[in-house]
Amino acid sequence: MTPLIAPADIPYLPRGVRLQRDRVRDITVLQAPERAMRLDAVGEAILSELDGIRSMASIAAALAARYDAPEAQISADMRDFLTGLIERRMVFVKGAP
């Protein structure tokens, strides 16, 4: 899978895509055009950090510190997870300012 995001890119949820608590199933879902995607704890942790300001690398560093996990591993997981969502047009990317 060719990555669709580089460490310096800034990922964000575009208009029409939002995180939502599913109170009936007691899970968090990513709501998008014609799709509601169930998120696991890792997915929710990543997507909750997307603020349209910080780069993927900077978010990976923050998550590595918070969960005391290797930054390289988190970066690789983030890159693959976000690439899947970029393919589905549920995450957008902009270059560093």
Partner 1 sequence: MKDRPAQPADIDGNPVTPGLPMAMLAEITHRCPLACPYCSNPVELVRAGAEISAEDWGRVFRQAADLGVLQVHISGGEPGARRDLAQIVANARDAGLYVNLITSGIGITEARLRELDDAGVDHVQLSLQGIRPDMADRISGHPGSWDKKMAFAEWVTRIGFPLTINAVVHRQNMERLPEMLDLAERLGARRIEVATVQFHGWADLNRDALMPTREQAAFARKIVNEGRLRLRGRMVIDYVPADHHAVYPKACMGGWGSTGLNVGPDGTVLPCHAAQSIPWMRFENVQDRSLSDIWHLSDSFNAFRGTAWMPEPCQSCERKNVDFGGCRCQAMALAGDARATDPVCSLSPLHAGVVEAAEASAAATTDSLVYRRMSRSD
List of residues contacting partner 1 (CB under 8 A):
4, 14-18, 20, 22, 24-25, 29, 31-34, 36, 86-89
Is 22 or 73 the residue whose CB approaches partner 1 more closely? 22
CB of 15: closest distance to partner 1 in angstroms?
A: 5
Instruction: Specify the DSSP class assigned to residue 14.
Output: P
- Are 30 and 90 contacting, i.e. CB atoms less than 8 angstroms apart? yes
Rounded to the nearest 10 degrees, the angle between the axes of helix 56-67 and helix 71-87 is: 130
Residues 75, 3: Cα–Cα separation, whole Å: 12
* CB-nearer residue toward partner 1: 69 or 87: 87
CB distance 59 to 50 below 8 Å: yes
Residue 16 or 70: which CB sits closer to partner 1? 16
Closest CB 69 distance from partner 1, rounded Å: 27
